[in-house]
Each structure stands twice: as structure tokens, then as C-alpha cells.
Amino acid sequence: MRDRGLSGAVLADADDVSARYPGAGVPALASLTFAVRAGERVAVLGPNGGGKTTLFRLLTGELPAAGGRLEVPAGRVAIVPQTDRSRLDYPVSALDVALMGAVSRTRWWRRPARADRALARTSLERVGLGDLARVTFGDLSGGQRQRVLVARALVQDAPLLLLDEPFSGLDAPSAERLERLLAELAGEGRGLLMATHDLEQARAADLVLCVNRVQVAFGPPAAALTREEIERTYGAALVPLDDDGPALLPPHHHDHA
């Protein structure tokens, strides 16, 4: 594993941050106060429309904060989208998709530099897909496509990765391989924010951020995933199993803010 020299460094820091979309009368998200440090995996829980996508847009700078203080000392932030939202009919290879991570530093009239192509190949090797570099992206399995999208983020060389339900639709072996990869990336000093609807995945994270238009909870899983906090986060979206047992979440809680 490569030590990025960021151990313990703050990669994102929010203090009472709010966000509002142009023309909207009320904030899409408010009262955000949290920090992400190098090497931490933070699970982000919230219902449909609860603000997970808004949070990611804030961190990438796509949406400016409407209030509070938001600092992203990490500088570069990379998003790893859900593979099932990707277009699969474009005739692009796994290498082409990974190479897209270099777009932000390439002049529009120039072809990608040789160094960028080498980095894209290295990133595919890093996620275990070096031998599939020339395979069409749409012909890969769901787990393989998800790892290609992680490789694209690695080409961006971003210390902070934002992952939108990375395990959605993956079979158990693919999910286990992706989990090992993400653990390795965190071990190298990257910070990971992972939107998820899976409570077990959230319990395996270092920290949990619960949002439902406002920040509901932030802290270690034992403190942020109490029944009370889960009910405050999901409200009517919860399906109670019994009087004392846990609540069941619906299969998906995608945020299309």
C-alpha cells in the first residue's frame, strides 16, 4: 500500500453548512457539521430526497454553500457513481472510461498524455482489471464496471472519494472484492464518503452521517445508528419488524435532488 502522507489530515470540514438550489424557497440541506479525515470511511444514510446528492454537490463545489463554513483542504474530490446509472450503449472500453479521469487536466484540443494513459492502465491493474482494459465497458459485469469507475477516480488522484451506493446490485463475491479494495484505499490515506441504504454496511464504517434535509446524526456507528436516530432519518420510510426489533429499510433510497 502506498502511504499518501495524509494520515489524520482533515479532507473536508463543515460547520453549520446549508445548501439551497437556485429559485428554491427552503434549504435542500441544513445544519451540516462534520469532518472527514484521511483514512476514514464515512457512511451517508438518508431517504430519497434527503440530501445525499446535495451533500456530494457541495463537496465537489458544483453547488456553493448557502450558509455556514465548508472547507475541502483535500482539493481534488472524485465521484464514483452507481454503475447501474451508467450508459452501457457507448462503444467505449474499460481503459477509455478510466482515462476519463484525466479530462479535468487535459486541454480540450489535445489527446490524453502518455503519462495519463499509463496511469489509467495502472489504475485498472490496481482494481484487478488490467487484463480487461480493452473490453467494452457495457460488456463487463456490474462488479467489474463499479471497479472501473473506481479506477477512473484513481486517475484523478483525489484524496477524497464520494461513492454513490457502490454496492448496489452487486453479487456477494463482487461486493467482497470491492469492500477489500475500498479498505485498501482508506488504508492508503484516502477519505471515503459512501452513500448507502444498507445498515450493515453503515455499521462497518468508521463514522456515519445521517441526513434528512438536515443533519440528523454524525459519529461512530454505535451512536449514530440507534433506533431513535434511524427513525428520525427515515421516518415514514421505515417498516417496523416488531415492537423491539430493528426497522427494515425499503430496498433503495436514491437521492435525486
pLDDT of residue 238: 62
At 65 the three-state DSSP class reads: coil
At 149 the three-state DSSP class reads: helix
At 21 the three-state DSSP class reads: coil
- Among residues 64, 95, 58, the alpha carbon closest in space to that of 79 is found at 58
Average pLDDT, the chain: 85
Label residues 160-199 b or e (16+ Cβ within 10 Å = b): bbbbbbbbbebeeebbebbeebbeebbebbbbbbbbbbbb
pLDDT of residue 48: 83
What would the pLDDT profile of 53-84 be if each residue is shown by its tens digit?
A: 999 999 999 999 999 999 999 788 999 988 65
Domain boundaries, the chain: 1-75+159-257, 87-158
Residue type, 52: K
CB neighbour list of residue 204: distance below 8 Å, 6 or more residues apart: 43, 221
What would the pLDDT profile of 163-208 be if each residue is shown by its tens digit?
A: 999 888 888 888 898 899 999 999 999 999 999 988 888 999 999 9
pTM of the model: 0.84
d(CA 230, CA 207): 14
d(CA 52, CA 44): 7
What is the CATH topology of the domain spanning 1-75+159-257? Rossmann fold (3.40.50)
Q: Which residues in the chain belong to E strands, given as ranges?
A: 10-19, 29-37, 41-45, 67-71, 77-80, 160-164, 191-195, 207-211, 215-219, 239-240, 247-248
- Among residues 2, 137, 28, 13, the alpha carbon closest in space to that of 72 is found at 13
Residues 224 and 209 sit within 8 Å (Cβ to Cβ) = yes
d(CA 177, CA 167): 10
C-alpha pair distances (Å), 37 with each of 12, 42, 241:
7, 10, 36
Q: Which of 29-33, 40-44, 81-85, 165-169 has the lowest mean pLDDT?
A: 81-85
